[in-house]
């Protein structure tokens, strides 16, 4: 009996033994550390989507400016690719979409208004009009640069402004609106800021002169129900404006034509060191595929471009000049004789 009692005193627990209990505080600390590590990792991944994470102080994350990837372009193109940061709004998901800067350099009544409406018909192009027609903006070098900075930083809002995903931004600049008065400063700005110039001229300078005189007349008379319009969108309005036939001063005719030629040549000489292309209104009017060359120049996708503007002075110039016979006599035998017959 004693032996039986001795045997039964060794229970199951006596042979297996019990493991020592772990501290609840230690387990909690391990869990907290793991949670903090996971949180930091997730935060860093999220922040990298919008910027670069830098650690200036242990345990403190700082978001700095996002670095856009270098686009797949030729090395010479790099100075002409920009990532503007507007002060008035955020470019949001388009902040890394590159933008090209351009300026249309032309003269009044050379087709620049029509050409600009064609460019603005492109989803990715914004050309902001004749911004230097306001004299205070071209008062001196500083005001010109300030205006240019606003345009190219996408802070110039106009009816032509597109959304934050604009791929090419520019404006129309007449040669008599500060360009020829400050050529060195403008050329330096174009070269250092990567602005491309699009020269648009008219081959038939006589037809341009007729358009200038007719437009000046309408500015004072306002033939369209008391409203002056430099450009029209209906054949009826174009017909009304075309009824006026200017009287051309034949004594100064050749001198004025040469003056326009000299201004054109001088402008091209000033900007020869910039990236530029030269266009003529007549070439585009006769062959719209010339516009594809412009889109390639601006590095934007090709697409068909349309304009609602209607040409005012059509057909033979003899129908649009009051003293046509005198004009013919003045140009016969000169280098400008061809202007008498060319339609556009």
Quick one: average pLDDT of 207-235?
96
What mean pLDDT, rounded, does the chain reach?
86
State whether 175 and 303 are in the same domain. Answer: yes
Look up residue 35 and give its two tokens: 């949670």
Closest to 196 in 3D by CA, of 89, 295, 102: 102
How many structural domains is the chain composed of?
A: 2
More confident residue, 19 or 246: 246
Give domain status of residue 73, yes or no.
no
User: Based on the domain organization, do 61 and 158 belong to the same domain?
Assistant: no
Shared domain for 248 and 156, answered yes or no, is yes
**Is 88 inside a domain boundary?**
yes
Domain hosting 250: range is 81-340
Q: What is the pLDDT of residue 112?
A: 97
The answer on 60 and 118 residing in a single domain is no
**List of residues 6+ apart from 258 with CB closer than 8 A:** none
Give the list of residues 6+ apart from residue 93 with CB closer than 8 angstroms, or none.
none
The kind and range of the H/E element at 126 are strand 125-127
Q: Where does a domain end: 67, 92, 119?
A: 67
Domain end: 67, 94, 129, which one? 67
Rounded to two decimals, the pTM is 0.80
Specify the range with the lowest mean pLDDT, choosing from 20-24, 89-93, 188-192, 329-333.
Answer: 20-24
Say if residue 165 is in the same domain as residue 252: yes
Residue 17 lies in a domain: no
pLDDT of residue 7: 40
Instruction: Check residue 336 and give its pLDDT.
Output: 97
Which of 17-31, 38-52, 175-189, 305-319 shows the lowest per-residue confidence on average (mean pLDDT)? 38-52
Q: Is residue 318 part of a domain?
A: yes
Confidence of residue 37 (pLDDT cuts 50, 70, 90): low
Q: Is 110 found in the same domain as 43?
A: no
Q: Is the pLDDT of residue 277 over 80?
A: yes
Q: In this model, does residue 55 exceed pLDDT 60?
A: no
Tens of pLDDT along 179-198? 999 999 999 999 999 999 99
3-state secondary structure of 253: helix
Query: Token pair of 257, please?
Result: 């034509």
The DSSP annotation for 181-250 comes to: TSHHHHHHHHHHHTEEEEEEE-S-HHHHHHHHHHHHHHHHH-TBTTB--SSBSSHHHHHHHHT--PPP-H
Same domain, 86 and 63: no
User: Is the distance from CB of 103 to CB of 198 less than 8 angstroms?
Assistant: yes
pLDDT recorded at residue 342: 73
pLDDT tens string 105-152: 999 999 999 999 999 999 999 999 999 999 999 999 999 999 999 999
Looking at the structure, tell me whether residues 147 and 39 fall in a common domain.
no
Q: Are residues 62 and 85 in the same domain?
A: no
Whether residue 134 sits in one domain with residue 91: yes
Is 12 part of a structural domain of the chain? no
b/e sequence 265-279, b meaning 16+ C-beta within 10 Å: eebeebbeebbbeeb
Asked if the structure places residue 136 within a domain, the reply is yes
pLDDT of residue 17: 46
Quick check: is 2 in a domain?
no
User: What pLDDT score was predicted for residue 281?
Assistant: 97
Q: What Rg value do the Cα atoms of the chain yield, rounded? A: 35
Give residue 23's pLDDT: 60
Instruction: Supply the pLDDT for residue 92.
Output: 82
Residue 8 lies in a domain: no
Could you tell me the CATH number of the domain that includes residue 320?
Answer: 3.40.50
What is the predicted pLDDT for the residue at 293? 97
Q: How confident is the model at residue 157 (pLDDT cuts 50, 70, 90)?
A: confident
For residue 6, report the phi and psi dihedrals to the nearest 5 degrees: -65, -40
Confidence band of 319 (pLDDT split at 50, 70, 90): very high
195 shares its domain with 316: yes
Summarised one tens digit per residue, pLDDT across range 56-90 is: 445 444 444 567 877 788 999 999 999 999 998 88
My answer on whether 269 and 124 are in the same domain is: yes
Residue 116, Ramachandran bin (φ over 0: left; ψ between -120 and 50: alpha; else beta): alpha
What's residue 11's pLDDT? 45
Q: What is the pLDDT of residue 250?
A: 98
- The count of other CB atoms within 10 Å of the CB of residue 233 is 13
């Amino acid at each position: 009996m004693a032996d039986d009692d001795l045997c039964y005193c060794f229970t199951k627990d006596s042979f297996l033994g019990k493991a020592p209990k772990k501290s609840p505080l230690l387990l909690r600390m391990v869990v907290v550390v793991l949670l903090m590590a996971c949180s930091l990792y997730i935060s860093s991944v999220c922040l990298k989507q919008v910027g670069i994470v830098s650690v200036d102080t242990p345990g403190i994350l700082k978001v700095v400016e996002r670095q856009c990837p270098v686009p797949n372009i030729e090395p010479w193109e790099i100075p002409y690719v920009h990532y503007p940061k507007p002060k008035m709004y955020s470019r949001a998901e388009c902040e890394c979409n590159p933008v090209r800067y351009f300026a249309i350099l032309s003269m009044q009544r050379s087709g620049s208004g029509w050409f600009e409406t064609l460019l603005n018909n492109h989803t990715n192009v914004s050309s902001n009009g004749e911004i230097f027609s306001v004299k205070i903006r071209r008062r001196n070098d500083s005001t010109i640069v300030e205006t240019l900075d606003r345009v190219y930083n996408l802070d110039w809002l106009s009816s032509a402004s597109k959304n934050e995903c604009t791929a090419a931004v520019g404006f129309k600049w007449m040669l008599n609106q500060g360009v020829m008065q400050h050529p060195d400063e403008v050329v330096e700005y174009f070269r250092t800021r990567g602005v491309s110039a699009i020269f648009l001229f008219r081959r038939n300078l006589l037809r341009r002169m007729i358009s200038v005189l007719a437009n000046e007349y309408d500015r004072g008379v306002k033939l369209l129900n008391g409203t002056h319009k430099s450009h029209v969108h209906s054949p009826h309005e174009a017909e009304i404006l075309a009824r006026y036939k200017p009287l051309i001063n034949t004594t100064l005719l050749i001198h004025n034509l040469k003056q326009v030629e000299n201004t054109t040549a001088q402008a091209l000489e000033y900007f020869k060191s910039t990236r530029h292309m030269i266009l003529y209104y007549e070439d585009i009017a006769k062959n719209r595929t010339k516009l594809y060359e412009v889109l390639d120049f601006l590095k934007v996708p090709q697409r068909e471009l349309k304009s609602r503007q209607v040409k005012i002075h059509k057909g033979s110039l003899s129908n649009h000049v009051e003293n046509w016979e005198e004009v013919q006599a003045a140009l016969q035998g000169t280098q400008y004789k061809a202007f008498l017959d060319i339609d556009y």
